[in-house]
Amino acid sequence: MLKIAILIEDMVEDVEFLYPYYRFLEEKYDVDVISQTKKSIKGKKGGIFKADLSISEVQSNTYDIVFIPGGYAPDKLRANKDILDFVQEMHQSEKLIAAICHGPWVLVSAQICKDKNMTSFPSIQDDLKNAGANYINKPVSVDKNIITAMDPSAMPEMFQEIMTACKDLKSLS
């Protein structure tokens, strides 16, 4: 069974958390909702979500995938060294990393964007370019172990790519 980490913080874009969360559960994957501390999280649209674990309680080697929703949450997550270390370790282990909308901000701060094809919400494309990414102005971009998407309208296409990658991961285990 694949183990998924979803990183959230206050002001997460509700649908960018809920859609992946339930999509992963639908596949019967083991999903942990992780934040800076174990607490209730208030979504940008008013949803209340619970972080199962704090980042200090987890180790990257126990996860197959990390998913980073957007909203204003990534700006808070990217300021946390443990979050950045977790994402860097996932990348170094060539684990699947998926980020949508403003989620790639975490990848910028984790310094894993150089020479990668990536997309994001258009307002942060300069951040990706300045971090060395090749900005792709398309709804979804896949570059080896990194899958990025522009906004909620791209989630169906993004999840087709994620589920294809998950099937590949399951065949390896």
Catalytic (active site) residue 102: yes
Instruction: State the DSSP code for 101.
Output: T
Per-residue tokens: 1: 């069974």
The first and second tokens of residue 19, run together, are 């859609």
Q: Count Cα neighbours of 53 within 13 Å in the Cβ-side half-sphere.
A: 16
DSSP string across 142-172 = EETTEEEESSGGGHHHHHHHHHHHHHHHHHH
Residues linked to residue 32 through DSSP beta bridges, in sequence order: 5
Token pair for 52: 């199962």
Active-site hit among 23, 76, 91, 102? 102
- Residues with a known catalytic role: 102
